[in-house]
Amino acid sequence: MRILVFKEAIGFMKYKWICLIVSTLLVLGSLVTLATKGLNLGLDFTGGTVIELQFQQPADLDKVRQQLTAAGFADAQVQYFGSSQDVMIRIAPRAGIEQKTIGEQIVAAANQAAEQAVTVRKVDVVGSAVGDELKEDGFLAILVALVMILVYVAARFEWRFSVGAVASLLHDVIITLGMFSITGMEFDLTVLAGVLALIGYSINDTIVVFDRIRETFRKMRDMTTDETVDEAITSTLSRTTMTSFTTALTLIVLFAIGGAMIHGFATALLFGIFIGTYSSVFIASGLAVVLGASREDLMPTVVEKEGAELP
């Protein structure tokens, strides 16, 4: 692989301590927010009723919401599902009221908002036990992904780089969750899928940077560690920028015209690619340098041939 050598590498590593301190404060702030305010968990995790209705004419969502509010369901989530005639209504469970009764009341309110009778396409009831199980399994998936990445990077590179990679991923995940906590955006299974996709995106970016650092260490042996890392990151900057830019364009389109159902997914990834690009450059590499990563850690082991003469 050919290394692009710039006449002047950007001095990323001279800002490593500033970035590490700022990121630590952001992570701590996110943890405090998550502990005090928590996440606005969706029905996938809390349980509730999901009803899909088909209207004879394009549905007026504002009118449907008004009728649901009048019926005592002001917190109902109403959105189009596929077309302007297909509507999905999601409602959290009510204490002391059977989910079947809630479904019947919602259908009755929707009928009052329509000129003609609506057709009930599907009624799904998600129990709280199922929601708790999904919540545990979802966050366990994040934990397992982080542990496997730790093992993989440690085997491929060196433990200092492994710690830097996993720390940057934790940084990305915690700050992204903190953003959802602060804004109060709903956190459902699609958002969780976005967070898992963010982990994959971020570690891919980090591995590209680490590969280039290893190659630069082996080819430019007269540079200091900071200079070598700066040169490696600078040489991958165009690739990183273009990848982030094209991914962001796709996510902006998904957010704008993809519908309310994937707003959370698009938001998680759109925010995540920027924080992930930043962490790959400053957190993963910077932390590895702070922990004492050096050229000797990444040089191939010299194996003496059997029978070779000793000096």
Q: Which range, of 97-106, 182-191, 208-217, 226-235, averages the lowest pLDDT?
A: 97-106
Residues of the chain with CATH 3.30.70.3400: 48-126
Check whether domain 12-41+130-296 has CATH 1.20.1640.10, yes or no: yes
Residue 25, phi then psi, degrees to nearest 5: -65, -40
**CA 264 – CA 250 distance, rounded (Å):** 15
- Higher per-residue pLDDT: 253 or 302: 253
- Picking from 239, 241, 218, the residue whose alpha carbon sits closest to that of residue 228 is 218
- Higher per-residue pLDDT: 306 or 246: 246
Contact between 290 and 20 (Cβ < 8 Å): yes
Question: What pLDDT is stored for residue 197 in this prediction?
Answer: 84
Q: Which two tokens stand for residue 155?
A: 């085997």
Q: Output the pTM of the full model.
A: 0.75
Kindly give the interhelix angle for 225-257 and 189-219, rounded to the nearest 10 degrees.
150
| Contacts made by residues 27-30, CB under 8 angstroms, sequence distance 24+ | 27/170, 27/171, 27/174, 27/175, 27/178, 29/178, 30/174, 30/175, 30/177, 30/178, 30/179, 30/181
Q: What pLDDT, in 10s, does the model give residues 211-267?
A: 888 888 777 767 777 788 888 888 888 888 888 888 888 888 888 877 667 788 888
Q: Which range, of 3-17, 28-42, 46-60, 171-185, averages the lowest pLDDT?
A: 3-17
Q: What pLDDT, in 10s, does the model give residues 21-34?
A: 999 999 999 999 99
Contact between 208 and 285 (Cβ < 8 Å): no
Coil, helix or strand for 125? Answer: strand
Q: What pLDDT, in 10s, does the model give residues 50-91?
A: 788 888 787 778 888 888 888 777 777 787 776 777 888 887
CA dihedral of 34, 38, 39, 45, whole degrees rounded to 10: 120
Question: What pLDDT is stored for residue 30 in this prediction?
Answer: 93
Residue 281 one-letter amino acid: V
Q: Is 81 left (phi over 0), alpha (psi -120 to 50) or beta?
A: beta
Q: Please tell me what DSSP assigns to residue 59.
A: -
The dotted CATH code for 48-126 is 3.30.70.3400
Question: What pLDDT is stored for residue 5 in this prediction?
Answer: 44
Compute the average pLDDT of residues 99-117. Answer: 74
Looking at the predicted structure, is the pLDDT value of residue 281 above 80?
yes
Contact between 42 and 188 (Cβ < 8 Å): yes
Q: Is 38 left (phi over 0), alpha (psi -120 to 50) or beta?
A: left
* Lookup result for tokens 């999601």: 90
Task: Give the pLDDT band (50/70/90) at residue 289.
Answer: confident
Residues of the chain with CATH 1.20.1640.10: 12-41+130-296
| Most trustworthy range by pLDDT among 28-37, 99-108, 188-197 | 28-37
